[in-house]
Amino acid sequence: MAQSSRSTLSRSHQESANGGGASLPAVRDEELREHLPGLEPERRLTDWGRSERIEGLLDRTLVDFFYKQWFRAEVEGIENVPSDGGALLVSNHSGALPPDAAMIGKAIKEEHSRPRPLNITVEHFFKGYPGFSMLIPKIGCVAAHPANVHRLLADEEQLVLVFPEGRKGTEKLYKDRYRLRRFGRGGFVEAAMRAQAPVVPVAVVGAEEAAPVFAQLSVLKKLTGLLYVPVTPTFPHFGLLGMLGYLPAKFKLRFLPPIRFDEPGLHEDRGFVQTVAHDVRAQIQEELLDMVGKRRSVWFG
């Protein structure tokens, strides 16, 4: 739906540029940008608010350090991430301030033959929380709205990462590690089918031990208005920076073969959507158990 309306728009632009003398000339984005008297003209932001500068800075410093030195990430099956077209990456989720999303993005940047930026879907909540609201879009996070996901997958043909467990995954305590929560209502499968984009399941091991959550403080949660206030080895007693106090667990990421939906209209079959969502969840769970079973040490892999 969204795609068709966009294409008609661009078509009418072309027509007005070619024929119809009375019509007004179409103006392109780049031409308009020249008129912006920006303080920093070299600054580049995408339409989603993603900032090359800030994302690059974080990527070169913090993310690079965690990926290479701290978590010593090991990646399998990176070739399963398509090198063109939209694709929906689906992963398990955990940790107080989850490090898994950043590691998946970094893995694609480091290991893939054709690295592409990864769009991470997050709760709408972050748009309204002071501080987060400014940082989050700049590093490539997008609110988890079906229309946003569809636009990214179908119109812009980008990579999108979803955590169907959502909050239920990050709230989960250490004793429940590597046991997947319910996969939402299957919305992610529906989005992929509608956009006819493949789903790439991703299993991540290490995040649960890197940021173990021992308890949830409901009183502080109410006071701060945050989604949750977890107790981790370094939070809350070391303050907000304690959120980044990850333990040096060995990270293993496994990208599984893509599941393709090339037929249009599949998303209308609710039963099929639920079945596929269930299958994807089972597949990730199975891989997780396999990876955890083979692991000799939490810290050395």
Which chain residues interact with other proteins by CB under 8 A? 1-2, 5-6, 9, 13, 22, 24-25, 27-29, 31-33, 35-41, 43, 45, 47-49, 124, 127-134, 136-137, 142-143, 145-148, 151
Of 11 and 260, CB closest to other proteins: 11
Task: Give min distance, CB of 58 to other proteins, in A.
Answer: 17
Say which residues have a Cβ less than 8 Å from residue 293's Cβ, sequence separation at least 6: none
Task: Give min distance, CB of 31 to other proteins, in A.
Answer: 7
CA distance 178 to 22: 64
Task: Give min distance, CB of 43 to other proteins, in A.
Answer: 6
Of 9 and 219, CB closest to other proteins: 9
Of 33 and 260, CB closest to other proteins: 33
21 by Cβ neighbours in 10 Å (0-12 / 13-18 / 19+) ranks as exposed
Task: Give min distance, CB of 277 to other proteins, in A.
Answer: 22
Closest by alpha carbon to 76, among 126, 24, 111?
111
Name the DSSP class of 97: S
Task: Give min distance, CB of 135 to other proteins, in A.
Answer: 10
Of 110 and 156, CB closest to other proteins: 156
Distances in Å between the Cα of 118 and the Cα atoms of 75, 126, 161, 284 are 16, 18, 7, 20
Strands 199-205 and 141-143: unpaired
Of 81 and 197, CB closest to other proteins: 197
130 by Cβ neighbours in 10 Å (0-12 / 13-18 / 19+) ranks as exposed
Of 268 and 290, CB closest to other proteins: 268
What is the separation, in whole angstroms, between the first and last Cα of the chain?
46
**Amino acid identity at 203:** A
Task: Give min distance, CB of 37 to other proteins, in A.
Answer: 8
